[in-house]
Amino acid sequence: MTHPHRNQPLWWAFALHRVSGLGLACFLPLHFLVLGSALNGDAALDGVLAWTESGPVKLAEMGLVFLLALHLLGGLRLLALEFLPWRDGQATLAALAGSVSLVFAFIFMFNVI
């Protein structure tokens, strides 16, 4: 008998902020792993870089850009909410952060293709 009262935009903003944060945290060690492969000579790094040229990886990169932008803009909204005087319309701001992040992701996509 629990009734979570979650169906509202700011709950989703919170969930996406969490998920994007976790996603980025998982990506970071992989990123260092790739950079670290340069220590084993340039062939190793070039091998990985060639792999990142493939379609699915490019798509995943687009997702990464989206998560990064979302976490950045969402985080700025939260910082403003906590440190500046209160401002109404937080749901609109969260939606704005989401849409701008999507735009970033698409710009990235069109630039790399």
Partner 1 sequence: MNRADDTLAVEIWKGGTDGRLAAFEVPLRANQTVLDVVTWVQRHRDPALAYRFACRVGMCGSCAMTVNGKPRWTCRTHVAKVAVERHLTIEPLRNLPVIKDLACDMTVFFEKWQAARGRFEGRTTRHDEVVQLAPDTPARVAIDAGIECINCAVCYAACDVVAWKPDYLGPAALNRAWTLQNDTRDAGQEARLAAVAGDAGCHNCHSLQGCVAHCPKALNPTAAIAGLKRAVFRAALSGDL
Residues in contact with partner 1 by CB under 8 A are 1-6, 8, 10-11, 14, 78, 81-83, 86, 90-91
State in angstroms the smallest separation of the CB of 92 from partner 1. 12
State in angstroms the smallest separation of the CB of 83 from partner 1. 6
State in angstroms the smallest separation of the CB of 27 from partner 1. 23
Residue with tokens 């980025």: 24
Contacts of residue 90, Cβ cutoff 8 Å, sequence gap at least 6: 10, 77, 81
DSSP-derived letter for residue 52 is T
Output 97 or 105, the one with its CB closest to partner 1.
97
Output 86 or 110, the one with its CB closest to partner 1.
86
Assigned token pair, 89: 């319309």
Assigned token pair, 28: 């970071």
